Amino acid sequence: MQPDQGQTTAVPFWRDERVLKILGQVIFALMILLFFAEIIQNMQAGLAKQGITTNLEFLKGVSGFDISETVFPYDRNSTYWQAYQIGLLNTLVVSVVGIVFATLLGVILGVARLSTNYIINRLAAFYLEFIRNLSLLVFLIFWYLGVFLKLPRVKEAIIWPGNIFLSNRGVGIPWGIPTASYPTFRLILIFGFILALIVYFSLRAYSQRTGRAPLTILWTLLSFIFIGLIGWVILPEKPLILDVPRVEGLRLIGGKVLSPEFMALTSGLVLYTSAFIGEVVRAGIQSVSKGQVEASRALGLNSFQTLQLVVFPQALRVIVPPLTSQYLNLIKNSSLAIAVAYPDVFYVANTIQNQTGRAVEMIGMVMLTYLVFSLITSLLMNWYNQRTKLVER
Amino acid sequence: MTNLNSALPPLTEQITLLRWLRKNLFGSWYDALLTVLGLWIAYWAVKGFLTWAFTAAKWDVIILNLRLIMIGQYPLEQTGRLWLWLAFLVLLSGSSTGIWARESKYAAVVFLLPGLLALLPFSTEPRVWLVALTAIGLAGWVIGRAKPEILKRGVIAGWVISLPVIILLTHGFSESGTGFWAVAKTTLWGGLLLTFLLTVVAILFSFPLGVLLALGRRSELPIVRWFSVAYIELVRGVPLITILFMAQLMLPLFLPEGLTIDRVLRAMVGITLFSAAYLAENVRGGLQAIPRGQFEAAHALGLNSAQTMVFIILPQALRLIIPILAGQFIAVFKDTALVAIVGLFDLVGIGKTVLAQPDFIGLQREVYAFISLIYWVLSYGMSHLSQRLEERLGVGKR
């Protein structure tokens, strides 16, 4: 019998899947390229008409505007580039402070949401439900215009215990002023920190080797505090002087005065993000099966040990990935600083853009900045996730 | 035969008030301390809020500016057009509730809401319309319940054309400049109206875009995949406000000379492009949850890749992620507030306008509290609706 000739006839190329795939991609790529070519051409034509060339030389120019909050010395004679750096650092400050406090509050809320205490449970549930349905921008504006700017004038400032001054010009808190011996003290503290790390890891190794449970965290903290205290006592001059805020004329001086803008932005971000973190933490803790808790109680661990050694390590695996995206959200949301006039990177970039008309460059720089921030946070959290995740066979 | 369920629980499990208190509030000394602390916080917060809301707050600013907050500077003459499409939407929702939620007999209660709103201090015209809305909603519900099979196609068609209808009616089409059908410029759109339009347009357009990007990210074709990955990660790495600024400042530069687009449209494009990247990731999550067997079975039945996706994979994947999608849509709604920063007069932007009037200086708390309330009620309503939808579709059960 003759073999079936039909099988050997070549498929025409317009029905050959391999050819089609390549062809499709080539067409797709061409379309994308044409699209971008068109955009860039239009943009260059438009910019040329306005007499603007795209480069970053203008960053060396004198800025001529003031920034209310500066991390390093800056005035209106500084360059645009320095202004941008100020904004960058301010974003960093808000992000770090926000993440730290939002995490603390979020964990408390998540645990409270699971509390057997009816009142605490309901309060946490109400808070989460209330915050999660608000619009962050409105929340921030309310917090700024409705709360921090509505505080009494400096002369009638509300004074909270611990010398905290609340006024419409800012919130004054006590703050340490470094003296001449502060650099030495800082070295001692670093030494204490290293020692504490050594104590922590050796105690943990001891615990894993022998199965005993020394009070690792307590000893670690104690060793750090001990070194710190020694440093404080032996130095001839006190390394830090506690400076208390006080009212002088129409201003609040001394201590550390946190501006209403900063307070509104950070407290708004913290309160808002903590609600989402609370949900993440609750879901994480609930994902640990009840049997784990019962088993650890049966093994004789107390409730603190159960949480620390059994529940949290397992809950962390569920918590870390969504927590990362909450951190990223907080960093990105800090760009809403523009609504409360806090000079973060976006606010400063917008001011520069208004003065120089360099929209393309400034938006590009800001986007790049946030991308780098996001990337770094993702990398750090992924690294942490690798450490906490389940080791499977 | 004794009913087992009716047997009393053991004595130690019987709930008395005292025992409930002991178990839930005063289990140990720190529990008692927490209870007292919690009660004190609750008392302090509630008292503070009530005192402010009922004695200090001047709610006149809201009542006098309600129109501004709802529709911005939209011309008075043409407001009837907005009521028209609102009535159309209410009719559609009424009959949809009648058709698809037949078993819940009390669903129609929702449509009493506009009628109840009419009790608030509005002027006569909106009151009449609000009562009419209730009547229309209830009528739609009754008809939907009575003749579901006949109406089904019509209602679906109504939903499909609803967005064009809304946009057309809001925009108007007579160039004459006056009269009922005159064009209302987008610069006059504002308040809740603008927020609503931005949200609806962004959701409806970002959804297909997001699905395409998700499919692109899972595609075997490397160029398509790289492009999707780059787009998604780039957009998710930057804040929405930068995208909105880009849309406002750079979009005009990207377009060929002579072609300009409206500021509201620019904002819509920005939010849509932003939201699509997040939706793509959500859809990808759903796609990943579909077992390989489904693809293989569909191919074995002779469906090609496109058919497999459209008829087998996507329906399952999308049903799985309904709660996540609802969360994303709520986020879009809340994010539209950012257009106020680029100078549009949505709810937040109009708040600034209200406060700029000399009569209402210093009433920021009242205005922003009210705007927050609107956001809160609508977000909460959306999340409630999505939960009902989830139950009906049996997400996680089937």
C-alpha distances (whole Å) from B186 to each of B8, B108, B183, B198, B384 are 67, 34, 9, 12, 32
Least confident of A101-110, A359-368, B126-135, B141-150: B141-150
Whether the per-residue pLDDT at B261 is higher than 90: the answer is no
Asked if the Cβ–Cβ distance from A137 to B338 is below 8 Å, we say: yes
A52 interfacial to chain B (CB closer than 8 Å): no
Over residues B248-267, the mean pLDDT reads 84
In angstroms, rounded to a whole number, what is the distance separating the alpha carbons of residues B296 and B316? 15
CATH superfamily of A80-174+244-388: MetI-like (1.10.3720.10)
- Show residues of chain B in contact with A130, CB under 8 Å: 376
Contact A128, A278 (CB under 8 A): yes
Q: How far apart are the C-alpha atoms of A298 and A54, rounded to whole Å?
A: 70
Q: Is A327 on the interface with B (CB under 8 A)?
A: no
Tell me whether residues A134 and B334 touch, CB distance under 8 A: yes
Query: How does residue A100 score in pLDDT terms, banded at 50, 70 and 90?
Result: very high
Query: Which residues on chain A are in Cβ contact (under 8 Å) with B335?
Result: 135
Structure confidence at residue A250 as a pLDDT band (50, 70, 90): confident
pLDDT digits 0-9 by tens, A170-216: 888 888 888 888 888 888 889 999 999 999 999 888 888 887 777 78
* Least confident segment among A49-53, A127-131, A276-280, B122-126: A49-53
User: Inter-chain contact B379–A133, Cβ cutoff 8 Å?
Assistant: yes
CB B151 within 8 Å of CB B99? yes
Name which residue leads in pLDDT, B50 or B257: B50
pLDDT band of A392, cuts 50, 70, 90? low
Asked whether residue A50 carries a pLDDT value surpassing 90, the answer given is: no
Interchain CB contact of B238 with A (< 8 Å): yes
Q: In what order do the strands lie in the sheet with A256-258?
A: A158-160, A164-167, A170-173, A256-258
Partner B contacted by A299 (CB < 8 A): no
Supply the pTM of this predicted model.
Answer: 0.87
- Identify the pLDDT of residue B283: 93
A375 to chain B: which residues are within 8 Å by CB?
A: 237
> Which pLDDT score, from 0 to 100, does residue A108 have?
92
Chain A interface includes B26 (CB < 8 A) = no
Give Cβ neighbours of residue A66 (< 8 Å, ≥ 6 apart): A75, A76
pLDDT band at B1 (very low <50, low <70, confident <90, very high): very low
Over the stretch A135-171, which tens digit does the pLDDT of each residue have? Answer: 999 999 999 998 899 888 888 888 888 788 888 888 8
Please indicate whether, in this complex, the C-beta atoms of B368 and A141 are within 8 angstroms of each other. yes
In terms of residues, how long is chain B? 398
DSSP state of B221: -
Closest CA to B90 of B187, B158, B167, B181: B158
Q: Where exactly are the structural domains of chain A?
A: 13-50, 80-174+244-388
Residue A135 touches partner B, C-beta closer than 8 Å: yes
User: What is the pLDDT at residue A1?
Assistant: 46
Domain B191-398 has CATH 1.10.3720.10: yes
Amino acid at A362: M
- Chain A residues 166-185 with a CB less than 8 Å from chain B: none
Q: Among B224, B337, B383, whose Cβ lies nearest the Cβ of A135?
A: B337
The pLDDT mean for chain A works out to 86
Is the CB of B51 inside 8 Å of chain A's CB atoms?
no
Given a cut of 90, whether residue A77 has pLDDT beyond it is: no
CB contact under 8 A, A45 and B257: yes
**For B333, nearest residue in chain A (alpha carbons):** A135
Pairing of strands A240-243, A158-160: unpaired
Q: Does B30 touch chain A (CB under 8 A)?
A: no
B237 touches chain A (CB under 8 A): yes
**How many whole angstroms separate alpha carbon B145 and alpha carbon B139?**
10
Measured from the Cβ of residue A83, the count of other Cβ atoms closer than 10 Å reads 26
Q: What pLDDT does residue A136 have? A: 94
Please write down the HEC assignment for all residues of chain A: CCCCHHHHCCCCHHHCHHHHHHHHHHHHHHHHHHHHHHHHHHHHHHHHHHCCCCCCHHHHCECCCCCCCCCCCCCCCCEHHHHHHHHHHHHHHHHHHHHHHHHHHHHHHHHHHCCCCHHHHHHHHHHHHHHHCCCHHHHHHHHHHHHHCCCCCHHHCEEECCCEEEECCEEEECEEEECCCHHHHHHHHHHHHHHHHHHHHHHHHHHHHHCCCCCHHHHHHHHHHHHHHHHHHHCCCCCEEEECCEEECCEEECCEEECHHHHHHHHHHHHHHHHHHHHHHHHHHHHCCHHHHHHHHHCCCCHHHHHHHHHHHHHHHHHHHHHHHHHHHHHHHHHHHHHHCCCCHHHHHHHHHHHHCCHHHHHHHHHHHHHHHHHHHHHHHHHHHHHHCCCCC
Nearest residue of A to residue B383, measured between CA atoms = A133
Q: Residues B193-241: pLDDT tens digits?
A: 999 999 999 999 999 999 999 999 988 888 999 999 999 999 999 999 9
10 Å CB burial of residue B190 (0-12, 13-18, 19+) is buried
Regarding beta strands A246-248 and A251-253, do their DSSP bridges make them parallel or antiparallel, or are they unpaired?
Answer: antiparallel
Task: Give me the pLDDT at residue B8, please.
Answer: 66
d(CA B154, CA A221): 71
Q: pLDDT band at residue B2, thresholds of 50, 70 and 90?
A: very low
End-to-end CA distance of chain A: 56
The whole-number average pLDDT for the span A287-312 is 86
Contacts of B38 in chain A (CB under 8 A): 117, 119-120, 123
Could you report the predicted ipTM of this complex, rounded to two decimals? 0.87
pLDDT at B395: 60
Chain-chain contact of A336 with B338 (C-beta, under 8 angstroms): yes
Asked whether the beta carbons of B383 and B331 are under 8 A apart, the reply is: no
Query: For residues B95 and B393, which has the higher predicted lDDT (pLDDT)?
Result: B95
Structural contact between residues B344 and B263, judged by C-beta atoms closer than 8 angstroms: yes
Residue A304 reports pLDDT greater than 80: no
Q: Report residue A16's pLDDT band, with 50, 70 and 90 as the boundaries.
A: confident
Q: How far apart are CA A89 and CA A20, in angstroms?
A: 51
Q: In whole angstroms, give the CA distance from residue A146 to residue A166.
A: 14
Residues 256-275 of B with CB under 8 A from A: 256-257
B350-361 confidence digits (pLDDT tens): 999 999 989 888
Note whether A374 contacts B: Cβ–Cβ < 8 A: yes
Residues B37, B30 contacting (CB under 8 angstroms): no
Query: For residues B336 and B195, is the Cβ–Cβ distance under 8 A?
Result: yes
Mutation for testing the A interface, residue in B364, B380, B386 having most A CBs under 10 Å: B364
Summarised one tens digit per residue, pLDDT across range B316-326 is: 998 888 888 99
Q: Nearest CA to B338 among A184, A337, A368, A119?
A: A337
Per DSSP, B9 falls in state P
Count Cα atoms within 13 angstroms, Cβ side, for B361: 2
CB–CB contact A335 B375 (8 Å): no
* Span A282-294, average pLDDT: 89
CA dist A305 → A213, A288, A296, A308, A310 (Å) = 10, 15, 9, 5, 7
Structure tokens at A379: 């990398």
| Higher pLDDT pick, B180 / B157 | B157
- pLDDT band at A269; cut points 50, 70, 90: very high
On whether the CB atoms of residues B215 and B318 are closer than 8 A, the answer is no
- What are the C-alpha distances in Å from B155 to residues A325, B90, B136, B246, B382? 40, 12, 14, 39, 21
Q: How far apart are CA A316 and CA B351, in angstroms?
A: 42
Task: Take residue A288 and report the two structure tokens written for it.
Answer: 């640990």
Q: How much is the pLDDT for B396?
A: 55
Determine the angle formed by the axes of helices B263-288 and B222-237, rounding to 10 degrees.
Answer: 120
**DSSP E strand boundaries for B198-280:** none
Checking if the pLDDT of A101 tops 70, the result is yes
Res B163 pLDDT > 70: yes
State whether B38 and A119 contact (CB < 8 Å): yes
Nearest by Cα to A344 from A64, A94, A73, A171? A94
Residues of chain B with CATH 1.10.3720.10: 191-398
A116 vs B: CB within 8 A? yes
pLDDT at residue B348, as a whole number: 93
Which residues in chain A are closer than 8 Å to B39, comparing Cβ atoms? Answer: 119
CB B95 within 8 A of CB B144: yes
- Return the pLDDT at A219: 87
pLDDT band, very low/low/confident/very high, at A230 (cuts 50, 70, 90): confident
Residue A92 C-beta-side C-alpha neighbours within 13 Å: 12
